[in-house]
Amino acid sequence: MTTTERPQAIDVTLPDQEELIRRLLSDSPLLADTSDHLLQVVNVLESYGVVLDAYSRNLVYQGKTQLLNPFPVMRFFHEGFSFGRLWEHLKGDRINFEYAEYCQKAMFWHGTGGMDAYFDSEPFRDACRRVISLRSRRDPLLRLVNTLYPGFAPEAIRSMTTIYALGLFWRVMSDIFIDLARRYRIGEVACVLDVVHHIRDGLVKAAGSPIQYEVEFGGESVWLLPPEAGLTFLVDVAVPYVEAVFFRGMPFLGTVSYNAQARQIAADQSQFKYGALYADPVPSMGAGIPPSLCMSDMFRNLPEELSRWYDTHGRNQADAHVQICVSFQKSMFCVTNAAIAGTMPHPLTTEDPEQQAANHAYASSWSERLMGCQRVALLPG
């Protein structure tokens, strides 16, 4: 560098709402487009893709085998039971499927999207009654519980249906993230915007894929999510997932008080701000804290390139889980960016004033939500 040259200044100003809108409408990534961000995001999503593959297989397995099982103690053994796997399970040498269950509970509890609306329909209630009737023929405990507490079994069926749908969703996302890493290594993904476009295109490609769920009891089949329900991947599962897990989330036991008098938790679920985009990137690594379990799973499957990068950043490998959490949050902004782009009402290239206004209103509504998130994660670094 000559004496007349100056280092390029790095903008460390948090993007305001107008800047977020501008980025969304100009097809610019929310996350600063730097080489470090590209390395972190692609590699952490590759690790996450491997983990999601296991999560997906397990949740689909649960949906097929664990419906109305009163004691699902073997639900994590989708690869088959063995004493070796049991020993690994007991000593914690395994994928932590508890994080998958946390995400499912968040989706189920917040109840947004078309699938939740279908749960309140008469066809779904009829399907629940039929499943309960078929299962009760061989399950006197269920017959007794259903008589005493008629709302219990339908609620359990709703929950398991959400588990199965989430498994289908994660199957698609795992494939998208693994393919992203492949394209990165052959040079087809060279910047953060390419990452957003790859995820957006994957979401759009799978957008109309049907979400269906059929179970069988005693040789009889029952559709819980039938084809005629018209539920699809993007609007009925993917967007509700972003809403429930990225934005709302759930407060973790032991980190805030659930005492109503303490008022540490909002009474209105729509005001929850415990999702991945709001979180302070400091996993406690305490037992039972879902994000800590997820970071542990990704650490076990961390690509060598990202592991080496952590060696020279932060406190080296001593705080690798914290660094993974930071990288993961950055990647989730990319996924959110892609979901917004994939559901924009009209093409960004439109010259129709009414369509432009609709796009602006859509981007404005999302940017308002993003203003409360960890915008510092969007900055270079």
- Cα dist. 159→104, 153, 267 in Å? 8, 10, 23
- Secondary structure (3-state) at 128: helix
The full set of domain ranges for the chain reads: 17-378
What pLDDT was estimated at residue 288?
A: 57
Non-local (6+) Cβ contacts of 289 within 8 A are 252, 254, 255, 283
What pLDDT was estimated at residue 240?
A: 92
What pLDDT was estimated at residue 11?
A: 52
Residue with tokens 């940017």: 367
Q: Rounded CA gap, 270 and 69, in Å?
A: 32
What pLDDT was estimated at residue 154?
A: 96
Q: Rounded CA gap, 229 and 211, in Å?
A: 9
Positions in the chain short of pLDDT 50: 1-10
What pLDDT was estimated at residue 287?
A: 54
* DSSP single-letter state for residue 26: T
Q: Backbone phi, then psi, for 266, in 5-degree steps?
A: -65, 140
| Cβ-based neighbour number of residue 1 at 10 Å | 6
- Secondary structure (3-state) at 180: helix
Q: Rounded CA gap, 251 and 110, in Å?
A: 13
Q: Rounded CA gap, 117 and 231, in Å?
A: 10
Identify each DSSP E strand in the chain by its residue range. Answer: 213-217, 220-225
What pLDDT was estimated at residue 24?
A: 97
Q: Backbone phi, then psi, for 269, in 5-degree steps?
A: -60, -30
Task: Give this prediction's pTM.
Answer: 0.91
Non-local (6+) Cβ contacts of 122 within 8 A are none
Closest CA to 248 of 233, 265, 231: 265
Specify whether the CB–CB gap between 203 and 232 falls below 8 A: no
What pLDDT was estimated at residue 106?
A: 92
What pLDDT was estimated at residue 279?
A: 80
Specify whether the CB–CB gap between 224 and 215 falls below 8 A: yes
What pLDDT was estimated at residue 183?
A: 98
HSE, side-chain direction, 13 A CA sphere, residue 109: 16
